[in-house]
Copies of this chain bind each other. A is one copy, B any other.
Amino acid sequence: MTPAEEMERLAARARDAARAMSRTTAEAKTRALTGLADLLAAREEDVLAANRKDLDAARAAGLDAPRLDRLTLTPAVMAEMRAACLHVARLPDPVGATESQWQRPNGLLVGRMRVPLGVIAMIYEARPNVTIDAAILCIKAGNAVILRGGSEALHSNTALAGLLQEALADAGLPPQAAQLVGITDHAAVTALCKLDQYIDVIIPRGGEGLVRAVTEAATMPVLKHFKGVCHAFIDADADLDQALDIVFNAKVQRPGVCNALECLLVHRDAAARFLPLAAAKLGEAGVEFRACPASLPLLGPNAVPQRPEDLGQEFHALVLAVRVVDDLDAALDHIARYGSNHTEIICTRDYGRAMRFLREADASMVAVNASSRFNDGGQLGLGAEIGISTSKLHAYGPMGVQELTTTKFVVLGQGQVRQ
């Protein structure tokens, strides 16, 4: 069997499982998720042993430290995975809710009922915890999921997928609702991308190269984000102490993530007061500034002159582009040109400018006087997230359980025909 044939069989099994999942009860799904938490505890040593095999091979192959780190399972990571299972089990079940219903003049009752998407394919890097985090959200939303993690994590993922299938079976659900792709050949991903008769949506999670490749190959809808180039605009009348805390948190707390700050835009009337404060506080944390000519003299020893490629850049590091702008319009123009539709924030005390920024900055999250780091499903109150979408169709921003469903029209008639 070629990889393409094998993928077609696997996807067809997923489609069958999706039908059964769409008919199941919230109770059965809850049982599967709490059962999975129990299995993760009972079989922890098996999973860690499988993970050690992956780690040994990865070290032998010379994998770099950040990737080794993401590949590593520890008892602490396992505990987080169990907690996620129990947390998602307790979230409200989205399926079957008819969120609104109205009556047509001819007496038809029309509503929109929330239903699972169907079959979701997850393509991700060698991060075994994503196997569990992604699968449990897909299952909660009543979907079948196809999991294709990075090949370096294959032993770990095989162990985890085994537990997933056992938990599903124990709850009376089809084990094929969570299938791991065991083929590490890239042809398997290419084949999945073309199976739109079985797969309703594909979610690539990882670097821009992976996301771009899946987007270009896929014939089914893709939920994705390429990068997070997040800006903060410090308005002329911002509360500078508050703005400083926000900028510090946004840049320094976790510089490697997509909702970290990449570029600071400062109103020219605030620059001379704000930038030396920022230089001191962020500089002490090791932040390097890529400064425009107007900000360079205000940013002290950690600043270097900005190059054109520093704008619109996601640094993944303690590096911050800084630019002094004339006003809100200039800031919005900069964001429209360099932003990535991820997260944009303003620090201001002015009501009118706050409202304009909220309306006009085009990003999946826009905030007034709050850190960009809040663009996260958990932080925004969605309960959990499978990723953040920066394309505008279906989901714009963090995708929680609800974003893994859709709505269909349900029509209750009494014999109506169309005139």
Contacts and interface: CB of A to CB of B under 8 A. Distances in A.
Interface of A: 19, 22-23, 96, 102, 104, 108, 110, 113, 115, 117-118, 196, 200-201, 215-216, 219-223, 239, 242, 245-246, 248-250, 253, 336, 358-360, 362-371, 373-375, 379-381, 391-394, 396-398, 406-418
9 contacts: A22-B359, A23-B359, A104-B380, A216-B219, A253-B417, A253-B418, A366-B408, A368-B411, A369-B415
A195 to B, nearest CB: 13
Given A360-B22, A409-B375, A223 B415 contact: no
A415 B242 contact: yes
A104 B368 contact: no
Given A113-B358, A362-B115, A380-B110, A221 B411 contact: no
A367 B319 CA distance: 56
A118 B362 contact: yes
Given A239-B415, A366-B410, 19 more contacts: A19-B336, A19-B360, A19-B362, A104-B380, A110-B380, A113-B358, A196-B215, A200-B392, A245-B415, A364-B408, A364-B409, A370-B413, A370-B417, A371-B416, A373-B417, A374-B411, A392-B406, A396-B406, A397-B408
Given A411-B370, A414-B369, A417-B245, A96 B392 contact: no
A73 B417 CA distance: 29
A418 B362 contact: no
A117 to B, nearest CB: 5
A interface SS class: mixed
A281 B263 CA distance: 70
Contacts of A381: 102, 104, 110
A216 B217 CA distance: 8
How many copies the complex holds: the figure is 2
Q: Across the A-B interface, give the 8 residue pairs with the lowest CB-CB distance, nearest first.
A: A370-B413, A249-B417, A367-B411, A394-B394, A373-B418, A221-B393, A242-B415, A365-B409
A411 B201 contact: no
Nearest to A224: B221
Contacts of A411: 365-368, 370, 374, 380
Contacts of A413: 367-371, 374
A181 to B, nearest CB: 22
B201 A393 contact: yes
